[in-house]
Amino acid sequence: MRIAFAMINCNRRDGSARAVNEVAEILARRGHDVHLYARKAEDLDLGAVQWHPIPGPGWPEVADFLSYHVAVNRRLARHSYDIVHSIGCNTLRADVVTIQNIQPVKMRVLKEVGSSEKISLPRRFTRWLYLKATCQAERELYTARPGRRQPVFLPVSRGVESELRSTYRIGNATVRIVPNAADTRVFHPISPEERTAWRMANGLPSDGPVAIFSGGEWGRKGLEQAIRAMAAVPDGMLYVAGDDPDRARYKKIAEDCSARIVFGGFRSDIAVALASCDVFLFPSRYEAFSLATIEAAACGLPILATRINGTEDFIQPGRNGDFISSDPSDIAARLGALFSDSGTRKQMGRTAREIVERDYTWDRVATLTEEAYQLAL
């Protein structure tokens, strides 16, 4: 097939962008003619995938999105493809749409946590404009209209599918869940020697239980609750991989409640960081399907996470992790139980890895995507 992907920036750092890179490369290796329309194409095999650069402003986000949206619609109109695959509402010419989140739902969540965020008024305003613009673009693309063929929708989780159906009138559009995945060659358990060396180099004890939290947007992802929970788990530590503009406030919270926290910043070695810890802690308020969750499981970590999109599909309580609430006392109780039982913790981690190897690999995602293309055709 001749396939065009529409994604503003492609790399292997951002979750939705990484999915494009992984799937596009696999489809190209399987013999498809794969094209990418993007501003940037990083960490991508451009010998296999043909990149069509879309120039334009990268900031603010609303200008980035709108200029790309107009340009890519025009560019795609000049070519003939069997499938145009859009990540979200990037192009109105999509035959297939991967849906990582529903913008009106995300907008409500950000509004709820926004009062505690330390960001400038211009930043708040431009983010609001971006969300309004993407909500309008979603409405235009996702809403069924007489005489217009609906794209095939690929939400990444059951929760996102439910949000899609409750937010937009999609009519009788075809919907198939295609989850996120992990590269099990990169994300995997490591040897005790590697684990000890990484811990010692990054301010962690060579032994003793350590939980890891990964990501940005700490207000939405529940880092404050995780920090307060750690204050009640004196025998363990929390390693925070990632960053946030308001990090000084979170460091102050950790100091005030005497929680044992190491703020590690963004990590180029996140696979080793995950594999060097014991539990993945993720009390997030909203996700589509967190890549970090699957990658942590691939590294052999049990998952403690709130019951949100993606985790409700992945977590099997008592087998590969457990659900937690946003209450620090509940988080502390669940975390303390795992910290004190290394046998259960390790067995859960092995099961988590097995589930990823069976159901959450990029090869399987590529196969599900090919099946969706056949439905679209």
CA distance 173 to 149: 9
Q: How confident is the model at residue 109 (pLDDT cuts 50, 70, 90)?
A: confident
Rounded to an integer, what distance in angstroms lies between the CA atom of residue 102 and that of residue 46?
30
d(CA 53, CA 35): 11
Sketch the domain layout of the chain as residue ranges: 2-181+361-376, 192-359
Q: How many residues are given for the chain? A: 377
The pLDDT of residue 114 is 65
Determine the Cα–Cα distance for residues 17 and 36; give it in Å rounded to an integer.
12
Fold of 192-359: Rossmann fold (3.40.50)
Give Cα separations from 60 to 6, 16, 128, 312, 363 (angstroms): 20, 19, 11, 34, 35
Please give the average per-residue pLDDT across 107-122, as a whole number. 73
> What confidence score (pLDDT) does residue 115 get?
56
**CATH fold of 2-181+361-376:** Rossmann fold (3.40.50)
Rg, C-alpha atoms of the chain: 21
**Beta-sheet pairing, 9-10 with 40-41:** parallel
Query: DSSP code of 196?
Result: H
| pTM score of the predicted model | 0.93
pLDDT for 47: 96
- CATH topology match: 2-181+361-376 vs 192-359: yes
Model pLDDT for residues 17-50, shown as the tens digit of each residue: 889 999 999 999 999 999 999 999 999 999 999 9
Q: Is the pLDDT of residue 121 over 90?
A: no
180-221 per-position pLDDT tens digit: 999 999 999 999 999 999 999 999 999 899 999 999 999 999
